[in-house]
Amino acid sequence: MFNNPLARIHLCGSPRHGSQLDLARKEAFVFVAIYSIFVFMFLGYFANRVRLLGDRQGNILLGFLLNFALPSAIFTGVYHSSVSLELLGLFALALVCNLVAGALAFVFVSKILRFDFGTSLAMAFLVSLHNTLFLGVPIVQGALGEQAAHKAIVLDQFCTGLPLAVLTPLLLSLSSKTKFRIQSVLVRLFASPLFLSMLCAFALKAMPFSIPEVLFAPILALAACATPVALFAIGVQLRFDFLRLLWRKVLVVLGFGMFVAPLLYLAILWLFQVPLQEDHQMVLLEVAMPPLISAVAVIARAGLDSKLAISCIVAGVPIAAFSTPLWLYISHL
């Protein structure tokens, strides 16, 4: 995670201006986080362009990320987070909004725009799964702090990790690559170090004793590598040549994923007159993230349009830099 230098700045003012100052501080933190995100991604893109990294080094980097750094970040995040039933309800609401936005996108592109079934399926898949870990967690930490980032890691597993495990075999089945089986979902889940690290963290939280913080030192060191390594890996995968040809489809995917889904979430909260607190804002920022990086591999495996997936990720990251302060502002209205 990022050590934000702006966290040492204290903004003082009268109660009348407290909310405006708080919003200004959060937006400043977001810009610092986004600046760091772009630096790490640029380094990865630069390394790829000048051939500092080959496929072998990239696979080693990805293996370290998925099997060590990210599980460490998830373990420490889940263990140190305070997850209430109310927060789990917000996670469920976020998941429903993502899936409804995906369903609406499928209907829109298949019935109105008349895209073929495979393209419509790929676009709905991209809308439903968001980059809540690689991109969302550092942005949440920049905007709302470390405790909110811990909760965002838990959200990622409920709103992205679990749905990915279910939707991947379903997508492969619908694209006629395999037959959908519940067994394949369970195998995918329990073979994932990310899911297992979450289960271990919840199991240890339920114990009548706490783990001494000194034992977390190596885990925290590995977790600290997760964000820069993940963003670096995103930069390595960036491709800009597809975006020019697919920009209309990209706008549809990002419109439904980054704007319709969070608007649905806000509309439900406002309908029930729920005052927006920090947890609500954290979930809002995560729901507004661009598509999941792993969706590229899944869509390619299904024989669908992986170029569209890459283009959505490329365009989604800079859009998130502008949309995140907008959602923070709206959440303070």
Using CA atoms, how far apart are residues 138 and 205, in angstroms rounded to an integer?
A: 24
Q: Can you give the chain as a three-state secondary structure string? A: CCCCHHHHCCCCCCHHHHHHHHHHHHHHHHHHHHHHHHHHHHHHHHHHHCCCCCHHHHHHHHHHHHHHHHHHHHHHHHHHCCCCHHHHHHHHHHHHHHHHHHHHHHHHHHHHCCCCHHHHHHHHHHHHCECCCCCHHHHHHHHHCHHHHHHHHHHHHHHHHHHHHHHHHHHHHHCCCCCCCHHHHHHHHHCCHHHHHHHHHHHHHCCCCCCCHHHHHHHHHHHHHHHHHHHHHHHHHCCCCCHHHHHHHHHHHHHHHHHHHHHHHHHHHHHCCCCCCHHHHHHHHHHCCCECCCHHHHHHHCCCCHHHHHHHHHHHHHHHHHHHHHHHHHHCC
Is domain 5-331 in CATH 1.20.1530.20, yes or no?
yes
Full DSSP string of 38-90: HHHHHHHHHHHHTTSS-HHHHHHHHHHIIIIIHHHHHHHHHHH----HHHHHH
Residue 294 backbone phi and psi in degrees, to 5: -65, -15
Task: State the pTM of this model.
Answer: 0.81
Q: What is the pLDDT of residue 2?
A: 44
- Please list the residues that pair with 130 across neighbouring strands: 291
Using CA atoms, how far apart are residues 145 and 216, in angstroms rounded to an integer?
A: 20
**Two structure tokens written together for 37:** 């995100």
pLDDT tens for the 333 residues of the chain, in order: 444 443 433 333 444 445 666 777 777 777 777 788 888 888 988 988 888 876 667 677 777 887 888 888 888 888 887 778 899 999 999 999 999 999 999 999 999 999 999 999 999 999 999 999 888 988 898 888 888 988 998 899 889 988 888 888 888 788 765 666 777 777 777 887 878 888 898 899 888 888 888 988 999 888 888 778 877 877 777 777 767 778 899 999 999 999 999 999 999 999 999 999 999 999 999 999 999 887 887 888 788 888 898 889 889 988 998 899 899 889 887
Nearest Cα to 280, choosing from 216, 223, 318, 331?
Answer: 331
- Is the distance from CB of 256 to CB of 108 less than 8 angstroms? yes
Using CA atoms, how far apart are residues 6 and 25, in angstroms rounded to an integer?
A: 8
Q: What is the pLDDT of residue 55?
A: 61
